[in-house]
Amino acid sequence: MSKLYSVAALFNTPDDIMHAAAKVADAGYEKYDVNTPYPVHGMDGAMKLKSSKMGYYTIAIGLTCMSLMLFFMYWVYNIDYPQVIGGKPLFPLPAFVPIMFEITVLTGAVLTVAVMLIFYFKFPNNAHPLHDSGYMKAVSSDKFGINIEAEDSNFDLDKVKAFLSSLGAYKVDEIYFDEEEANTKHKILDTKFVFGMFLIAGFTSLSVYLHMNKVLYMPPFDWMLVQHKVTSQDKSDFFNNGISSREPVKGTVARGFMPYLFTDDPEGAAENLVNPYVADEENIALGKRKYLTYCSPCHGDLGKGDSRLKGQFPNGPTVHSDKVKSWTDGHIYHVISEGQNVMPGYKKTVTRKERWAIVNYVRTLQRALDAKEEDMQ
Amino acid sequence: MSTIDYTKNEVNVHGNRSLKEIDDLIVAPLDRIPDKRFFIAIGFTSTLLLIGVIGVALSLYYGTGLWGNNNPVGWALPIVNFVFWVGIGHAGTLISAILFLLRQRWRNGIARFAEAMTIFAVITALIFPIIHTGRPWVAAVYLLPYPNQHDIWVNFNSPLLWDVFAVSTYFTVSLVFWYVGLIPDFAVLRDRATGKIKKVIYSIFSLGWRFSNRHWQHYEMTYLILAGLATPLVLSVHTIVSFDFAVSILPGWHTTIFPPYFVAGAIFSGFAMVQNSLIVIRKVFDMNDLIPLKTLETMNKIILLTGTMVGYAYSMEFFIAWYSGSQPEYFTFVNRAFGPYSWAYWTMFSCNVFIPQLFWFKKIRTSIIPMFIIAIFVNVGMWFERFVIVITSLSRDFLPSSWAYYRPTITDFAILLGSFGLFFTLTLLFTRFLPSIAIAEIKAVSEGAQPSHHGGEDHE
């Protein structure tokens, strides 16, 4: 249904419009507006408008945000994560000034414009009956217009038209609008809107999924997973034997290690080596940890020979055999250090103390799996 | 295009056009399919852009090892380019904000264009620090203070962080300022538009503007406020950029003259760039009376002024280096002028200090070809200024054992070319799709636009 919005008159020159605006204001109309292609100097006075209050918003917003920023920086440096940087105090005010200034300008500018758009231009409900009218097209280019709204308390169609013509308007129009269209009630359940929302939701989920699961694992986004360097276990083309790192020179003694005197002499080891560590709780715990790391893959968690290797390597035999039980600590120590046949030696990776601790742990296992009556007490 | 009489010296911005003709003239490039000149130009600039894109893509894939950056010279070309481009942007804000506050009417014809250049220059500049981080997709977030799983914040004491705030504020505020200025012009376009799509787009961007005086009132006030905010902002931006250097202790960087010296240099090079582009634009789009020779001459005067200021800064730096009695400082400056980078130093010095002095001659100041060439020299010189500052100081600092000579690689140059490509492509697209002259502003200062009994002449 069409409804009268206003009567709009067009004028040719800025002088005419100044004169007309003053007359309309004097005649006591309140709901009227002047439309000009550019701001006409002195029009505010003619229309008797109060001066704009935008400046107050800017000051208030700028200062508020500046204080918030200052407080934020204080909070970060003094409460949340205090740390001294470059020997400066925790609250270096001069160093905060540049940021405070920038924040004042940033928020002052952006929010002032937001205030203007939202409070004064009624964004986003800014559809207006004047849009798309011949009147609008004229005032956007080179004409000067004034329009008096039908809602004004003094409004009387014929009188207003006559009045405006008498002011020298070259054209006076009635402007109508469609009430249904001007309805600004939110139409949340509108199918197009709902569909659009679903589309956005789908798109967002998909892109987040792809981003987190695919893109971030592709070079160059993959946190430098692929690098031009030799990592452990890599084959290297550089050396003839294909090993990426060099073996130490024969006789090298690593820091914290002692040279082993009984290589190829298990009997000597069995006779001469004495376990220097008491099998106390701490030592056995260390032995357990090391056993589980180094020995259990082949010999099984409890040393029963139940390897986890599933045939990839000859199974380590049980350590509960009578043979091993009858060995001295020194002999087991020798096997751990030097290996035995296919079993590799561990003297390069496991320290002396740890090897003895493993021995103690093996002894503990042997005793635990074959516990006698008196052990229970 | 008819022949242009460049000797004619129009005093007014507007010529004698009616309001309607102003609309038509400014909007014309948007309505017609551009001619061959436009396509040649954009073909050229987008080729440059493509070269840059390839350079950046390679750098991101293989890493920044493709650049010449070496151990003492870790900042190198990316920072040189960053400072250069931010500087270019400053002229735009100066024209649109400072000259607005100073009520310089000649600015109206070029303000919109200069602002657009600001925005494009800052976009171009922002690329450099971002790619310099090597992995921008992570770095971009680390630059901002946001709550994160590392439970750690950015360093508010660092000039580099100030820079993040300064440049991003500068970009945002320039964009807002520019857009606010565009709103009425979008409305003009909306009301002229015939095609449906154009109409929808312009309607959206015009934000329902209807030239109401009740709006103009707040609009003008807001514009004034934005100009008022942008003015100290633009001065702060290059000041803070100069802090990146001045707050460090490197000889040649650690000087208090840097902030004013950088700002002057920024305006100097920015004006040269705007002048160059305007000459092209007014020629291509027949806008000789909207951008009169008088405007260009005024710009040349500013170039002369700021060029002389920059020259003063160069000399003062030398003087202070000697006067301070600090040996590394003194060495750095002698090294600049006579060391391995003396070629860069003297290029800078002659382009920035000697050549612009030609603008003392009115004949040169008012003839298009010479002024165009001089402005190009100015930009070359200003690029070298940043090169000299960044590279010479880094390559030879306190510790002679760590000195090294820096040489940019082909990738560095590709990215530099690309930055010019990006900037000019954006500028060309802008002239094609948006009114490159502020319609409402020009109308407001055209003859007879203001009511006679108010002596509309003094209105801005």
Q: What is the pLDDT of residues A246-275, one digit of tens each?
A: 888 887 887 877 788 888 888 888 888 888
Asked if pLDDT for residue B141 goes beyond 80, the answer is no
Q: Rounded CA gap, B114 and B116, in Å?
A: 5
Residue B5 has pLDDT above 70, yes or no: no
Distance CA B340, CA B337 (A): 9
Under 8 Å CB-to-CB from A333, ≥6 apart: which residues?
A269, A273, A275, A355, A356, A359
- Number of domain units in chain B: 1
Q: Which two tokens stand for residue B199?
A: 């109409």
Residues pairing with A172 in the sheet: A9
Helix extents (H) in B324-450:
327-338, 342-349, 362-365, 368-387, 393-395, 410-433, 439-444
Within 8 A of B161 by CB-CB distance, chain A residues are 99
Q: A312 pLDDT exceeds 90?
A: no
Mean pLDDT of B356-366: 92
Lowest average pLDDT, out of A65-69, A293-297, B31-35, B421-425, goes to B31-35
Residue B455 placed within a domain? no
DSSP state of B456: G
Predicted local confidence at residue A183, as pLDDT: 62
Q: Which two tokens stand for residue A257?
A: 């290690």
Nearest by CB to residue B222, choosing from A15, A113, A220, is A113
CA distance to A125, B276, B350, B426, B441, per residue, from A41 (Å): 29, 34, 48, 35, 12
pLDDT value at B457 more than 50 = no
Residue B428 to residues A241, B53, B305, B434, B446, Cα–Cα distance (Å): 62, 18, 29, 10, 27
| CB-based contacts of B253, cutoff 8 Å, min separation 6 | B245, B246, B389, B393
Angle between helices B410-433 and B108-132 (to 10 degrees): 150
Nearest to A365, CA basis, from A317, A302, A283: A302
Pairwise CB contact (< 8 Å): A15 & B452: yes
Identity of residue B431: T
User: What pLDDT is stored for residue B12 in this prediction?
Assistant: 45
- Is B157 within 8 Å of A103 when comparing Cβ atoms? no
Q: Is the pTM of this model over 0.95?
A: no
What is the C-alpha separation between B351 and A261, in angstroms, rounded?
A: 79
> How many angstroms separate the CA of residue B435 from the nearest CA in chain A?
14
Other Cβ atoms less than 10 A from the Cβ of B200: the count is 12
* Partner-chain contact B19 A141, CB within 8 Å: yes
Between B292 and B237, where is the model more confident?
A: B237
Instruction: Quickly state the pLDDT bin for B222 (edges 50, 70, 90).
Output: very high
For A219, the closest chain B residue by CA position comes to B61
Strands (E), chain A: 2-11, 32-35, 144-149, 171-178
Nearest to A135 by CA among B210, B426, B15, B77: B210
The predicted pLDDT at position A181 comes to 66
Q: How far apart are CA B390 and CA B72, in angstroms?
A: 11
Q: Which two tokens stand for residue B39?
A: 């396509």
Q: What does the pLDDT read at residue A137?
A: 86
Q: Above 90 in pLDDT, residue A276?
A: no
Alpha helices in A116-190 (DSSP H): 134-141, 157-166, 179-182
Q: What's the domain range around B121?
A: 19-449
Mean confidence (pLDDT) of chain B: 87
Query: For A312, left (φ over 0), alpha (ψ -120 to 50), or beta?
Result: alpha
- Cβ of B217 within 8 Å of Cβ of A55? The answer is no
Whether residue B139 is predicted with pLDDT greater than 80 in this model: the reply is: no
Rounded to whole angstroms, the Cα distance separating A141 from A43 reads 18
Amino acid of residue A163: F
Q: Are B337 and B235 in contact (CB under 8 A)?
A: no
pLDDT score, position B460: 37
User: Is pLDDT at B7 greater than 50 in this prediction?
Assistant: no
Pairwise CA distance, residues B240 & B331, whole Å: 26
Q: Shortest CB distance from B210 goes to which of A54, A73, A130?
A: A130
Q: Closest Cα of chain A to B256: distance in Å?
A: 16
Per-residue model confidence as pLDDT tens digits over A212-256: 899 888 888 887 787 778 887 788 888 888 888 888 888 788 787
- The reply to whether B8 falls in a domain is no
Mutate to test the interface with B, among A58, A85, A102, A181 (most CBs of B within 10 A): A102
Inform me whether the pLDDT recorded for A376 exceeds 80: no
Q: At what angle do helices A352-369 and A281-290 cross, to 10 degrees?
A: 100
What's the CA gap between B298 and B97, in Å, rounded?
A: 17
Flag whether residue A24 sits within 8 Å of chain B, measured between CB atoms: no
Chain A with chain B: Cβ pairs closer than 8 A: 199
Task: Tell me the average pLDDT across A12-32.
Answer: 87
**Model confidence pLDDT, tens digit, residues B188-209:** 998 888 888 888 899 889 888 8
Would you state the pLDDT for residue B2?
A: 40
Q: What is the pLDDT of residue A182?
A: 61
Tell me the residue ranges of DSSP E strands in B199-348.
none
The gap between the terminal CA atoms of chain B, to the nearest Å, is 32
Cβ under 8 Å to A: B residues 44-63: 60-61, 63
Specify whether the CB–CB gap between B317 and B389 falls below 8 A.
Answer: no
Q: Is residue B144 pLDDT above 60, yes or no?
A: yes
- Provide the H-helix boundaries in A225-292: 266-272, 281-290
The answer, yes or no, to whether the previous bond of A14 is cis (omega within 30 of 0) is: no
Higher pLDDT, A254 or B412: B412
| Mean pLDDT within B29-53 | 88
Residue B326 and residue B80: Cα distance in Å, rounded? 26
Average pLDDT, chain A: 86
CA A338 to chain CA mean position, Å: 52
Report which DSSP code applies to A11.
Answer: E
Number of Cβ within a 10 Å radius of residue B195: 10
Which tops the pLDDT comparison, A237 or B226?
Answer: B226
Q: Give dist(CA A207, CA A213) in Å, integer.
A: 10
Which stretch of A353-362, B84-93, B136-145, B354-363 has the lowest confidence by average pLDDT? B136-145
Q: Test A47 with B232 for CB contact under 8 angstroms.
A: no
Q: Which of residues 33-72 of A touch B (CB under 8 A)?
A: 33-44, 47, 49, 51-52, 54-55, 58, 72
Give the contacts of B345 (CB within 8 A, at least 6 positions apart).
Answer: B336, B337, B384, B388, B392
Q: What is the pLDDT of residue B64?
A: 87
Report the candidate in A293, A278, A305, A300 with the shortest Cα–Cα distance to residue A359: A278
Q: Is the pLDDT of residue A84 over 60?
A: yes
Side chain identity, residue B200: V
Q: What is the CA radius of gyration of chain A?
A: 45
DSSP symbols for B202-214: HHHHHTT---BHH
Residue holding tokens 């090298």? Answer: A252
Q: Which residues make beta-bridge pairs with A6?
A: A149, A175
Best of B213, B244, B441, B460 to substitute, by most chain A Cβ atoms within 10 angstroms, is: B213
Q: Do B61 and A42 touch (CB under 8 A)?
A: no
Do the beta carbons of residue A77 and residue B156 sit within 8 Å?
yes
Closest residue, chain B, to A123 (C-alpha):
B207
Q: What is the CA radius of gyration of chain B?
A: 23
What distance in Å separates the CA atoms of residue B82 and residue A149, rounded to the nearest whole number?
A: 54
Could you tell me the pLDDT band of residue B336, with boundaries at 50, 70 and 90? very high
Task: Tell me which residue of B407, B405, B313, B325 sits closest to B352, measured CA to CA.
Answer: B313
Q: Is A340 exposed, middle or buried (0-12, 13-18, 19+ CB in 10 A)?
A: middle
Domains (range + CATH), chain A: 4-183 (no CATH), 266-376 (1.10.760.10)
Task: Confirm if B451 and A42 have CB atoms less than 8 A apart.
Answer: yes
**DSSP code, position A291:** I
Average pLDDT over residues A50-72: 93
For residue B304, the model assigns a pLDDT of 94
CB-CB neighbors (< 8 A) of A97 in chain B: none
Closest CA to B295 of B318, B315, B278: B278
DSSP state letters, B57-113: HHHHHH-GGGS---SS--SHHHHHHHHHHHHHHHHHHIIIIIHHHTT-GGGHHHHHH
- Cβ neighbours of residue A346 under 8 Å, at least 6 residues apart? A294, A336, A337, A339, A355
Contacts of B151 in chain A (CB under 8 A): 81
Q: A352, exposed or middle or buried, with CB in 10 Å at 0-12, 13-18, 19+?
A: middle
Report if residue B218 sits inside a domain. yes
- Mean pLDDT for B308-314 is 93
What was the pLDDT predicted at B380? 93
Is B305 part of any domain? yes
Torsion sign across C-alpha atoms A287, A292, A294, A299: positive
Helix, strand, coil in percent for chain B, rounding step 5: 75, 0, 25
Q: Could you tell me the two tokens for B273? A: 């760039």
Binned at pLDDT 50, 70 and 90, residue B453 comes out as low
CA distance A13 to A20: 11
Write the CATH number for B173. 1.20.1630.10
- Out of A123-132, A202-211, B66-75, B409-418, least confident range: A123-132
The predicted model gives B55-68 an average pLDDT of: 90
Secondary structure class of B367 (helix, strand, coil):
coil
In whole angstroms, give the CA distance from residue B68 to residue B193. 51
B204 φψ region: left (φ > 0), alpha (ψ -120 to 50), beta (else): alpha
Distance CA(A315)–CA(A153), nearest Å, equals 103
Tell me if A120 and B216 make a contact (CB, 8 A cut-off). no
Smallest CA-to-CA distance from B162 within B99, B100, B247, B102 is with B247
Q: Does A354 or A370 have the greater pLDDT score?
A: A354
Q: At which residue do the structure tokens 């200021």 appear?
A: B309
A32 close to B (CB below 8 A): no
In a domain, B2, yes or no: no
Say how far apart CA A144 and CA A12 lie, in whole Å: 6
pLDDT band at A185 (very low <50, low <70, confident <90, very high): low
Residue B22: how many other CB atoms lie within 10 Å: 24
**pLDDT for res A250:** 83
Tell whether the model's pLDDT for residue A9 goes beyond 80. yes
Binning pLDDT at 50, 70 and 90, where does residue B10 land? very low
Identity (one letter) of the amino acid at B94? L
